Every structure is written in structure tokens, then in C-alpha cells.
Amino acid sequence: MLQTTGTTIKGIATASMIHPEKAEKWSVTAAVAGIASSDTITMEFEQVFDNYDIQLNDGNRTITVGPLKSFMGQIIPDGVTVELKIKGKNINENYLKQSYNGQVQFKLNPDLIPNGIYNIEVITGGISRKIKNVKL
């Protein structure tokens, strides 16, 4: 459960919420502790973005995701989670990073992920993108 607080001025309370990372439906109730609570309303949030770029560099060992832009064409705020999944013959690795300036960069350590053929999946904002048979 997420919570936020606000101040009341002339009987009107205002509170801010951060847009979720992916399309979601929230139920929202306002409450004044020990005094009153409102009816519950439902808020539907749209997908923040519907596509993103993935670049492979340095022998496919540097994976850059982004720029991550909102549906209004603006760089998304810092802190959006980006997940990288790497699957190979004997490797099954997951990495999580937070966006900064609309991008995330993963550098694959050859000591942990040896040369070979891998399937890569990037998940962010509720959108999954797969790249198959990537040679490292």
C-alpha cells in the first residue's frame, strides 16, 4: 500500500503522487486520521512510454537502454527500474538498475559471463524486449 500526505488549506487537502512505472489501476481513499474518510475512487494510469531503444556496443558487452521518453516526448524522471535478463547454456543472470538522465547502461563482465551465444531480455515500464542469439 502506498501512502502520501498533504496539507489542508481552507478545507481543501492537496497531495501528490508519483506516476507508476507501468500502466496500473489504483484505488484511492482520502482520510483525516480519526475524523473522516472519503469514498474510494479508481484511478487508471496510462503506460508512461510504449517503446525504447537498446544499443549493443563493445563486442555486445555494453548494453544501453534509452533514451526513455514519456508519451509527451520528455525524458522520464530518474529512478525508473530497468531489468536485464541474460540466458545462455550455463548462464541465467538478472540485473536491475535505475534510470539516470533517461538511460541505463549495463556492462557485462567477461569473468561472470564468458564468451558465447545468449538471449537477452530488457524489461522496463511493463514492456519486455528480447534479442536472441547475441554473440559475446
Boundaries of every domain in the chain: 7-45, 54-135
Question: For domain 54-135, which CATH number applies: 3.30.420, 2.40.10, 1.10.3470, 2.60.40?
Answer: 2.60.40
Instruction: Write the burial class of residue 131 (CB in 10 Å: 0-12 exposed, 13-18 middle, 19+ buried).
Output: middle
Average pLDDT over residues 40-61: 91
The model's pTM: 0.76
Q: Which is more confident, 6 or 78?
A: 78
Between the alpha carbon of residue 9 and those of residues 6, 12, 15, the distances in Å are 10, 5, 12
Q: Which is more confident, 135 or 46?
A: 135
